[in-house]
Amino acid sequence: MTDQNDLAIRFEEHRPRLARLAQRMLGSASDADDAVQETWLRVSRAGDDDVDNFGGWLTTVTSRVCLNALRARATRNEIAYEQGLPDPVVDTDTPEGAPDVAAQLSDAVGAALMVVLDRLSPAERVAFVLHDSFDVPFEQIAELLERSLAAVRQLASRARRRVQAAGGGGDADPRRQRTVLDAFFAAARSGDLPRLIAVLDPDVVLRADTATSPLRVVRGAEAVAGNAMMFANPDARLVPVLVDGRPGVVIEVGERAVSVMAFSVLGERIVAIDAYAGPARLARIELPR
């Protein structure tokens, strides 16, 4: 067995953890796969001579790859899903108390956390994820970010406060989530722009995927509220569903589904909306019967 084969075997033992780290950093499974593969290319070229802590070294290399990706994304003002949103899992809105509610709420909280993480600067996100989720020492993070230990502690603390503040409004309560969604659609249908803006977070993001054109991204409460008027059709029927564990709706006109919408709700406001629309896009989504 060659040294390269031995290195590959050792790397594969750490791949699952590196994939989890990269996905939390980047918010996209495909981007995470690319980051882990880039990590392997760097490791295979460098070798592991003089490496005392192989797992810690891999964490550092993967984190550096993710940090570069986050910085490039911020420079281009992009989000994680440049090629379109992943196909969602759409389920009926299970009555409260059913056995799988806990798992669905866990998925919803995870989705909401990713929305908050997307708002952090690259350095804040790296410091928070590495320290709070993967127990990486601040000293190692400071070396990675090329900042002082005090500065890195401050980055993580600031990120932690933002995450806690966003999650402190009871957003895991399905009834509260549905109340927020009801207010959103009521305001849209009545054409009440101020009420619509009031239920949206100032930094809300709308991602619209039709499969026939590039992913459309709209940011900010006023801009999203203006686009939300397209859902004001009084003849539309709103069918409550769960989309990847998040509260959502299937919008039907007549007997035909015309769009699926998923919402991330934090506190009393909507912070993100994913909209799937058009026959080509909906054809790839299995809707509940």
- Quickly state the pLDDT bin for 2 (edges 50, 70, 90): very low
Would you tell me the crossing angle of helices 29-46 and 3-26 to the nearest 10 degrees? 150
Q: What per-residue confidence (pLDDT) applies to 41?
A: 93
Residue 218: per-residue pLDDT: 86
Lowest mean pLDDT among 103-107, 143-147, 153-157, 283-287: 103-107
What's the pLDDT at 231? 62
Residue tagged 């909507």 (tokens): 270
Q: List every span in the chain annotated with CATH 1.20.140.160.
A: 3-84+121-167
Distance set, CA 248 to CA 185, 215, 231, 251 (Å): 11, 19, 13, 10
Q: Where in the chain is CATH 3.10.450.50?
A: 85-120+170-289
Q: What is the pLDDT of residues 28-75, one digit of tens each?
A: 778 889 999 999 999 988 877 778 889 889 999 999 999 999 888 776
pLDDT in the model for residue 215: 81
CATH architecture of 85-120+170-289: Roll (3.10)
Cβ(176)–Cβ(170) under 8 Å? yes
Q: Which pLDDT score is estimated for 78?
A: 52
What is the pLDDT, as a whole number, of residue 115? 65
Please name which of 12, 23, 108 lies closest in space to residue 63, comparing C-alpha atoms: 23
By CB neighbour count within 10 A (0-12 exposed, 13-18 middle, 19+ buried), where does 107 fall? Answer: middle
3-state secondary structure of 88: coil
Q: Are 163 and 124 in contact (CB under 8 A)?
A: no
Residue entry with tokens 């392997």: 40
Question: What percentage of the chain exceeds 90 in pLDDT?
Answer: 36
Based on DSSP, count helices (H) and strands (E) in the chain, helices before strands: 12, 7
Domain 3-84+121-167 in this protein, CATH class = mainly alpha
Rounded to 10 degrees, what is the CA torsion of 168, 243, 177, 272? 60
Please provide the DSSP assignment of 130-147 as one string: IIIIH---HHHHHHHHT-
**Chain segment 258-271, per-residue pLDDT in tens:** 999 999 887 788 98
